[in-house]
Structure 1
């Protein structure tokens, strides 16, 4: 990862350089061929111009005038008769020119033709234009251009291309590595962040705002860090809560066991202390069972065995079961449920949910109050609403009541009742049924828990 910007820049550079080299080569050869073709066309046009003049005035004076015109130019002209005899020339005729003059032209078109255009293998490019007077060919105008001038022109063009190519390459190098650095910088930051996370430092803040795949990856890592940080705090709080919940009953068990072992105790006193020890042991057993159920839920080993259930009969049996236990506070349970609603639930697990909510309402309700269970049915869902007239839940605590070991009473005394796991288990069971649970509350007026199940 340390050199990823260099590697990425190098790969980009190789690819871009290859593409640029191909394009430069195509452009270079295209320009060279175009320039050579332009020179050949210009040479042929110049020869045709001379032949046009000579066709009008084919006399020795005009012939010598044409030859004289070309004597100071880069091009050379040779005017011959129809039989090949040289009538005039602008410069001395060398061997290479004689070879072209000796070629059998055959029938030369009226617009002339190119005799030689291979500038790499010949000393001259050459064209010939016929001189026709009254439809009869009287001679020919040969135009020559030395290929050394073309080579110089191509050398200049090549030099310009090399300079431009070098500048383009340097700009490409700088641009590629700047771009690769800007692309890999977020990746390097994310790599460092994950290294810190692996060492236990979860205080990660990436602040990468790009709306692309890199931004999405950064957001995922940031979310992971936040979740891990939250889980770390949760685990610490969880372990502290478990230790607290176990320490209290175990302290009772140990203390009263020491007392019960005294020989001076009467049978009645010993039975009293043994009863306390049993109650505390039952409390520990319940706590361990709750923890086991939560662990099963987290591992997705929690089995829900649904069956079609008449909701009214199901709730009525629960109300009958708990009503007697609530009479010591003179609390009544009112059930309002249509008799034709059938739901698919795990009866054992869902009974645990309802009883847990009812016990929670009972514990926080005043004397002679009412707990109501109301069932509402719509086309898409069924709602089970459990409402009490208790002390209510403060607004700052309401969002946290389904968290493990969370209690509104922060003192965590035995008087607060329960282990703080009940509502967490209720939420998990309801969600395993594909439903949701929500709570609303007003301090001093009571709380409302609403379970929503999808219609079967």
Structure 2
């Protein structure tokens, strides 16, 4: 709410400031400078004294009356030659002074006016100008009053805007929470917004979208689960039949035996695929898991690659402490990532684990010196059955489920897996797990 309201405040203040500038320029163009009008009103007493007292004196009394006003007035009245005054005035004011009008000088708190235009006051009076200075002009006060007026207007605008923003922000927070909960796997999350709210139509559409997505995801889960279960029975029959066939004809036909063994390998791959599917659907269906504390360092030390030509090294800190969650699931995630690294590594795989107390998380880093993963595919590789269209990926085998299972297992522990480029040249998978207490 604060962010939206602050933006509204800035926009309203900018709009009022811009409107004030446009109004000032418009009034100045159509009716003259508004500041000059304020100064003229504040100097109305001195102008009235000049026009109604001094100018009303007979010709021979005009100068004595001017002197008497000088003695009692707080202002300064001087006579200056017309050419000098005209030279000091802007071009747009000179003609008004020639006509005998009062010309204001707001900056100097003064005004000019010719004594007369006919020389009737005294000899040469048409060439003299009365310069009245030290007038009681206070433009600052007028500007303060205008500023207060604008502030009052802004407050009366911002109060209803703030009230509207508060309700609008609450609705947006509700939608944001629904999006977060839905993204974390809570398919029952829905936005509950008052029907009179401005975002009610948007909330209804989000709820409809959530219903459709939830239905599709549930259908997908049920389909995978059902297909996986249904496949186990014919796979078991195939295994049994191939076993009998191999036992009966092993000595009669070696070629047949080789074919049976190849078929048994294929059935074994199909069985492994079904087991992976069942594991994935089981993890997908889990919204929460029993929170049990277990030591992380022994778990990681127990994770190792099978004997091979790879150089496998580990660096596990002693202060990792305990993690809350499911030990078997987290072990499965680490082993899946190690197995993935072993598929693509040329000669080296490493595992590092550190504890970052300031960031309140544990980092488990698995690296290899293989071909790596392109940046554009680093999100997609966690999707089930996704495989890169590279020769190394087809040669490595697999079903595209290992990384999906690892990502889901880490998610259940409140963590995430990130991918970047390893200094070894291949891919670097980093498991970030928050330090939570059971």
Q: What TM-score, normalized by structure 2, do the two folds share? A: 0.44
The TM-score, its normalising length taken from structure 1, stands at 0.42
